[in-house]
Amino acid sequence: MSVSFGVVSQEPLDSPLEPQQVFARMIEANRDLAYSGLLAYERAGQLATYKIESQIEGDGSQSLSSLNRALPIQTHSLLCQDSQEQSTSALQNLENLYNFYRPAESMVAGRETMELLMLPVDGNRYGYGFSVDRENYLPLRTVVLTPRREPLERYEFVAIEFLELPSSQAQMLGDCPELENQPLSWSAEVLPRGFVTTRSGFDPETNVSHMVVSDGLATISISIEPIEAPSFPPVTTDLGATNILLSYLSYRQQIYLATLVGEVPLESLEQIVTGLSYKVNDAESER
């Protein structure tokens, strides 16, 4: 038996592609395709629609914008990797964290899609259901699932048009943005299984440290900034599948505000915040 976004079907559909292959092609399409369309977003029974465009910039990077209102927070990064070797390694890591399934096919925005279901092996992350375009592998529907396989939120195209790219521009697609190697005062020492720190940075003008933690699909952003004093108790809230945690840290009588935002269960954010520690450099250690 197989599961399709919480609906049980009797037999999986035969396919020439394994679920992992569908996922890998979906990542490439999500990064490389230019399109415009109408997107429906559903959370907690509330439905909103967006007119969006995904264009490829002159440097080869992708720009996704909403034309009528701000898009809700969406943090999963979909495997931006600099090389085929890194992409293969990242996919192998996901195979240890999610079970991949291919349920029955469906239709989204008048286009035939392949269903891809990724269910987590533990409670540190949510599950995902993708409806992937059969022709070009763009995910036309994304459903985030609780551990009980109940939908938390859903993104679904109701209409979409794919845009042609100049050949010179298309050759530039697929590169990941380069990250500056900046010194960082804080580190995440305690992470849920499968998560690693993928990027970090420090803004000397604001004295704010930034980190991104990911398992290759689910992503958590962390910012830590000094404050004079706490102005409110620690706070947790959620926006659909996105949880937000605000907490306080201290080092040498300085108070810091830590803000964690991620498309993961709240317990994963609580685990990470317990392991945020200040990195003492050589000059400070001699004081």
Give the DSSP per-residue string, the chain.
-EEETTEEESSPPP-SS-HHHHHHHHHHHHHH--EEEEEEEEETTEEEEEEEEEEE-TTS-EEEEESSSPPPP--------SSHHHHHHHHHHHHHHEEEE----EEETTEEEEEEEEEESSTTS-EEEEEEETTT--EEEEEEE-TT--EEEEEEEEEEEEPP--HHHHTTTTPPPP------SEEE----TT-EEEEEEEETTTTEEEEEEESSSSEEEEEEEEESS--S--EEEEETTEEEEEEEEEETTEEEEEEEEESS-HHHHHHHHHTEEE---HHHHT-
CB 154 within 8 A of CB 72: no
> What are the angstrom distances between the C-alpha of 103 and each of 15, 47, 83, 114?
10, 26, 30, 8
Any idea where the domains of the chain sit in the sequence?
A: 12-170, 186-285
User: Which tops the pLDDT comparison, 19 or 183?
Assistant: 19
The confidence score (pLDDT) of residue 143 equals 95
The predicted structure's pLDDT at residue 148: 85
Q: How confident is the model at residue 255 (pLDDT cuts 50, 70, 90)?
A: very high
* Per-residue pLDDT at 14: 46
Q: Is the pLDDT confidence value at 236 over 90? A: yes
> 61-65, 141-145, 232-236, 249-253: which has the minimum mean pLDDT?
61-65
The yes-or-no verdict on residue 2 having pLDDT over 50 is no
Give the CB-side neighbour count of residue 273, counting CA atoms within 13 A.
24
Q: Is the pLDDT of residue 13 over 80?
A: no
**Secondary-structure class of domain 12-170 per CATH:** mainly beta
CATH 3.30.70.100 fits 186-285, yes or no: no
Q: Is the dihedral of CA 176, 41, 217, 24 positive or negative?
A: negative
Q: What is the pLDDT of residues 72-124, one digit of tens each?
A: 655 445 545 444 555 667 788 899 999 999 988 899 999 999 999 999 999 99
Q: What is the mean pLDDT of residues 127-145?
A: 95
